[in-house]
Structures are given as structure tokens and as C-alpha cells.
Amino acid sequence: MDKKTKSLLLSLAVSLAFLFLVFNPLLADDQSASRPGEDKIERSLEVIRELATMKDEGIPISLLKKAQGLAILPGVVKAAWALGGQYGSGIAIVKKEDGSWSNPIFIKLAGGSFGLQLGVQKADLVLVFKNRRGVEEIAGNKITLGADLSVTAGPIGRSAEASTDLEMEAEIYSYSKSKGLFAGLALKGGSLQFDKKATRNFYDSDLAGQKILYEVLPTPPIVKKLQETLRQLSEAR
């Protein structure tokens, strides 16, 4: 190798090293700006936000006002016939005694019969809880829908506002949104489980699920956005 070639290679190596030193910190900062799980909360927020624009077809506001907890699972996938059931992930959150919404925990859904519309392989699921106990039990480990807590398809839209069913006789009201349509959903046997890994990665903490719900923790902007959206929906007239 002649001196000219060696000089060019050395210059190239120095240039690459310089670029690495300059841009590597920038890349690291960009990666740290978004924590694991933010996209799941953002997608859950989008599902809930749509409720405000579906006055005639969405979840009745009076039901949201009475709700003590929510589970939101965007993009649940309907499994093949050979496997059966549905699989997905999302978040769960409770309304605290002062009326504010808690920190969310991450959850997983597996199995069960969810009666998705014919031809639909993916849907957003929303569960409205009568009391905090259901979400707290998920945070402790898991619940089986229909076995541990009663579940029924939720009433829809303004026409349901005056219904006596809005007294929340069931422990959980369930809904499905697919292809732009929002409807009450019949649930059978699905398991909702606390996703320890996803929750730990988001909060960078090994706190137990129930403590995540109620402890005062640093609140990321996306969580504040979720809490404020839920507050506005609950107070809408």
C-alpha cells in the first residue's frame, strides 16, 4: 500500500471517528426522549378521544362520569381458528377518590371469545369499570372476564343516556371499535393480566402495580395528556 493510499485511509478513519463523536450523543438524546410504552399510551389516548366525536354512537358521557376505572386495548388481534381467542395489550387506569385519574399500568389480554364482527381481524377494546376493585385486581395479577367480574355489552350513544342500565348494574361494560364503528361487545373468558415488564420499562421502577396506580410519581407529558383528556370527557355535558 503506497503512502498516498495510507494517508487517504487515515483521513477517512479520522473523519468517521469525528462524526461518531459528534452525532452519537445526539442520537442517544433522541432515543431517551421517548420512553418505552409511550406509543401504546398515545394510541389508547386516540381511542378515548374519538369518544368525544361520536355523540350518537360512542360511550354515553353519563357512563364515563360514573366509571371508576378504564381498560383501553388498541388493535387487539383476532387469532386464527387453530389458536382461538384474541390477543392484545394496552393500559388500565382508575379514578381516584378526589376525582382525578391515576397513573396508567400496562396490561395484556389473552384468550376468550370476543365476538368481533364477521371479517374483522383487529379492533380497539374499551372496558368501563364500575369500581376500582377490578383494575386493582389486574394490577395485583390478573382477572378473567365473566368469571371474576361480570361483563356486559355497553349501551351506546345519546339514546342510552336515560336508560336505567346506566346505573351500572354490571361490574364492567365492554365496547369494541373497528372500521370506524363503535359498539357494545360481548366478552367471554378473556384474561386481563398486569404487564410487569412493560410497566417497569415505562416507569423505570419495580413498584407493584397497585402502587403505580396510587403513588405520586414523576408524570411524563403523555400521561398528563391522557389524564386531562379523561377529565374533560368525564366533565362533558
Q: What is the pLDDT of residues 66-102, one digit of tens each?
A: 899 999 999 887 665 444 566 889 999 999 999 999 9
Confidence of residue 31 (pLDDT cuts 50, 70, 90): very low
- Work out the mean pLDDT of the chain and round it to a whole number: 77
Same domain, yes or no, for 64 and 154?
Answer: yes
Same domain, yes or no, for 92 and 113?
Answer: yes
Same domain, yes or no, for 180 and 63?
Answer: yes
Is the pLDDT confidence value at 114 over 50? yes
Same domain, yes or no, for 49 and 149?
Answer: yes
Is the pLDDT confidence value at 29 over 70? no
Per-residue model confidence as pLDDT tens digits over 116-173: 544 456 788 899 999 999 999 999 998 988 888 888 888 776 656 555 445 667 789 8
Same domain, yes or no, for 24 and 57?
Answer: no
Average pLDDT on 42-50 reads: 91
Same domain, yes or no, for 27 and 107?
Answer: no
Least confident range of 11-20, 85-94, 117-126, 192-201: 11-20
Gyration radius from the chain CA atoms: 23
Same domain, yes or no, for 73 and 15?
Answer: no
Same domain, yes or no, for 9 and 114?
Answer: no
Same domain, yes or no, for 28 and 43?
Answer: no
Same domain, yes or no, for 81 and 111?
Answer: yes
Average pLDDT on 94-111 reads: 93
Confidence of residue 179 (pLDDT cuts 50, 70, 90): low
Confidence of residue 177 (pLDDT cuts 50, 70, 90): confident
**What's residue 46's pLDDT?**
93
Same domain, yes or no, for 126 and 160?
Answer: yes
Q: Which residue has the higher pLDDT, 216 or 221?
A: 221
In the chain, pLDDT over 90 holds for what percent of residues?
35
Burial 26-57 (b: 16+ CB within 10 A, else e): eeeeeeeeeeebeebbebbbebbeebeeeeeb
Q: Beta partners for 106?
A: 91
* Number of compact structural domains in the chain: 2
Phi/psi of residue 190, nearest 5 degrees: -70, 150
Q: Which residue has the higher pLDDT, 60 or 70?
A: 70
Q: Which residue has the higher pLDDT, 55 or 164?
A: 55
Distance in angstroms (rounded) separating the CA atoms of residues 34 and 189: 35
Same domain, yes or no, for 62 and 120?
Answer: yes
Residue-number span of the structural domain to which 101 is assigned: 38-235
**What's residue 84's pLDDT?**
54
Residue with cell 368525564: 234
Q: Beta partners for 69?
A: 94, 129
Is the pLDDT confidence value at 110 over 80? yes
Single pTM value for the model: 0.78
